[in-house]
Structure 1
Amino acid sequence: MNISDATFGGTFPFAPHFSRAPGFQMHYVDEGPRDSGVVLCLHGEPTWGYLFRHLLPIASQTHRVVVPDHMGFGKSETPQDRTYWLQDHVDNLEKFVLALDLRDITLVMHDFGGPVGMGLASRQPHRIRRVISANAPTPFGQADLFERITANAGTAPWFQWIAKANKDGSLDAVLEQLSFSILSTLKLNGFENNAIITDQWLSAYAAPFATPADCLGAIGWAKGFATGAHTFETPDASADRVIRAKPALAIWGEADRTLAAEHFLPLFASVFPTAPVKRLGGVGHYCVEDAPEAVATLIMDFIRQS
């Protein structure tokens, strides 16, 4: 299915752009004035740039908003001869950012967009202006990272299922059917706002996974955790010093069943000890879907104030 021009009933009315800088056709949205700071929005599993459709028209009034789809997600290509580990996504994003020469970047990260964005920050610290985590882990060389990931995985239904499915050999077969199980997958992770579920919404999240061959990105992200294949970037002393001095904000939906605040907000605070943390009661893992207006307001207020 070719979804490159799809607007899903007008709910995603943004012109598609494509870059081959990462070695595949990477889709991105690019809205707003080119002479302003960049808001770079990074999605996670199993979503795509559609996640930021409410933030886009607001932020693009004053900033250049760039929303790429990671390899194997959304409107981006799903190469059949590539690996889909964290380090691959960081490589892709760095090549993309350098090709567009994006600077003065406000990172807005959700889910695994956090490790990917922090990987970029580790490699290109002087291109980063601000860091915003929206239910996104912020690994940045912390000594207790794996202990926190392990503790979280022991109680999170999504990670419990990944471990079980990888062990019994069903992981690929299940995730190859994401076009049919997308809603149950989102609900398992912590999606609370049932009022926004429409045919267009379901189509937007299911369409990128039309066939098993389209699901390599989602499979790779899950399997990387089960097998330990993901490699987290470790900043050098200079990058560590630069990023720790940046303005930062954490927004956390407290009903997140995948990334528990008790494990991941201290990870954020270890890098940004004086940064504000906004907890949203009754909001799940997909905080940008559950409370789009509140999240957009927090983001834009923070950008203006910092």
Structure 2
Amino acid sequence: MNVVHHRYATVQGHRLFYREAGPADAPVLVLLHGFPTSSFMFRELIPRLAQRYRVIAPDHLGFGLSDAPPVDAFEYTFDALTELTSGLLAQLGVSRYSIYVQDYGAPIGWRLALADPQAVSAVVTQSGNGYDAGFVKEFWEPIREYQREQTPETEANVRAALTLEGIRWQYVTGVPDESVVSPDTWHHDVALVSRPGNDEIQLALVRDYANNSPMYPTLHEYLRSHQPPVLAVWGENDPIFGPDGARAFGDDVPEAEIHLLDGGHFLLESAGEEVAALMLDFLDRVIR
């Protein structure tokens, strides 16, 4: 197993935590986590990938072990989180890399690619949505109601996702055998989102998420024009971003490799070895 280093860097005055492993001169793979977790979700994936790649997995501001300034001190948007990620990569001397995007990591990864298309050598998306077809209506309608109008009732629906039961639901729904998913995952996440003021951070990002789908046509044009190698490996039973979101990448990148595995939103927790094998096979062919 490869040694994983746990490090901090200061970007635009904010302290960002990141995990790093692998040879310094190897091709770079940037892992971008989703809600409500952190680079903790990659704790078992990183050593597998680091055999042949330099892996960098940051915690977004407001998540994990990175700083979490209150909402009156920092405007939490996906544009802002992307700027911090870009600044971190520049500080680490990374100018070309592949991305792995999951959930919230996707709109950050898409913005990185649109800002500098030549920087991104390949895309791995695991429930990293980029198409309206990916939204599961039953999950997203209460969120859209809150995005349209913030009332005590609509906010209460969103706040349910910050509770222990709400976070556990994300981890176990769609998993064929719930017993393979460690309870450490949702207990770890709920402890961090329960820090004073973090609820307001999460609500701000939920509101800003409404600005992501209008960006999709530009993303699709980028995919059609640049034809980056794409691997979409999703949980077929994901209750948040459904499998049609994975299949849609083939509309713009005909050579996209699409795998639907028996699992849910956090596929690494139940099928980590299979995902790692698919990633290494894919990256070895299109990068190395």
- Measured against the shorter chain, the TM-score band is 0.7 to 0.9
Aligned mate of 1:90, from 73, 79, 82:
82
Aligned mate of 2:192, from 198, 208, 211:
208
Instruction: Note if 1:277 corresponds to 2:258.
Output: yes
Structure 2: gaps of 5 or more residues: none
CA distance in 1: counterparts of 2:184 and 2:61, whole angstroms: 23
Q: Counterpart of 1:246? A: 228
What secondary structure is seen at the aligned counterpart in 2 of 1:232?
Answer: helix
- How many correspondences in the alignment? 277
Instruction: Note if 1:160 corresponds to 2:150.
Output: no
Instruction: Note if 1:119 corresponds to 2:111.
Output: yes
RMSD: 3.0
Instruction: Note if 1:257 corresponds to 2:239.
Output: yes
Aligned mate of 1:99, from 91, 97, 116:
91
Q: Counterpart of 1:300? A: 280
Name the aligned partner's letter for residue 206 of structure 1: V
CA distance in 1: counterparts of 2:174 and 2:67, whole angstroms: 26
Residue pairs, 1:228-239, within 5 angstroms:
228-230=210-212, 232=215
Q: Counterpart of 2:166? A: 184
What secondary structure is seen at the aligned counterpart in 2 of 1:295?
Answer: helix
Name the aligned partner's letter for residue 96 of structure 1: L
The answer on whether the counterparts of 1:137 and 1:268 sit within 8 Å (CA) in structure 2 is: no
- Give the direction of change, closer, same or farther, for the CA distance of 1:176–1:120 in structure 2 (3 Å limit): same
Give, in angstroms, the shift of residue 126 of structure 1: 1.9
Name the aligned partner's letter for residue 212 of structure 1: P
The answer on whether the counterparts of 1:17 and 1:30 sit within 8 Å (CA) in structure 2 is: yes
Please give the per-residue CA displacement for 1:255-306, whole angstroms capped at 9, x wherever unaligned: 01111222x235422332211101113x111112221111111111111122
Instruction: Note if 1:38 corresponds to 2:38.
Output: no
Aligned mate of 1:194, from 153, 178, 185:
178
Name the aligned partner's letter for residue 300 of structure 1: L
Structure 1: gaps of 5 or more residues: 1-12, 139-144
Please give the per-residue CA displacement for 1:230-276, whole angstroms capped at 9, x wherever unaligned: 57387699x937973322111011101111222x2354223322111
Normalised to the residue count of structure 1, the TM-score between the two structures is 0.79
Give, in angstroms, the shift of residue 220 of structure 1: 2.3
The answer on whether the counterparts of 1:103 and 1:127 sit within 8 Å (CA) in structure 2 is: yes
- Give the direction of change, closer, same or farther, for the CA distance of 1:29–1:93 in structure 2 (3 Å limit): same
Residue pairs, 1:59-70, within 5 angstroms:
59-70=49-60
The answer on whether the counterparts of 2:99 and 2:123 sit within 8 Å (CA) in structure 1 is: yes
The answer on whether the counterparts of 1:25 and 1:76 sit within 8 Å (CA) in structure 2 is: yes
Once the two structures are overlaid, the 10-residue window that deviates more, 81-90 or 58-67, is 81-90
Aligned mate of 2:17, from 7, 10, 27:
27
Give, in angstroms, the shift of residue 53 of structure 1: 1.2
CA distance in 1: counterparts of 2:218 and 2:157, whole angstroms: 36
The answer on whether the counterparts of 1:177 and 1:209 sit within 8 Å (CA) in structure 2 is: no
- Give the direction of change, closer, same or farther, for the CA distance of 1:199–1:218 in structure 2 (3 Å limit): same
Please give the per-residue CA displacement for 1:186-208, whole angstroms capped at 9, x wherever unaligned: 41574625224545434422232
Instruction: Note if 1:290 corresponds to 2:282.
Output: no
CA distance in 1: counterparts of 2:81 and 2:107, whole angstroms: 9
Instruction: Note if 1:54 corresponds to 2:44.
Output: yes
Name the aligned partner's letter for residue 129 of structure 2: P
CA distance in 2: counterparts of 1:133 and 1:23, whole angstroms: 30
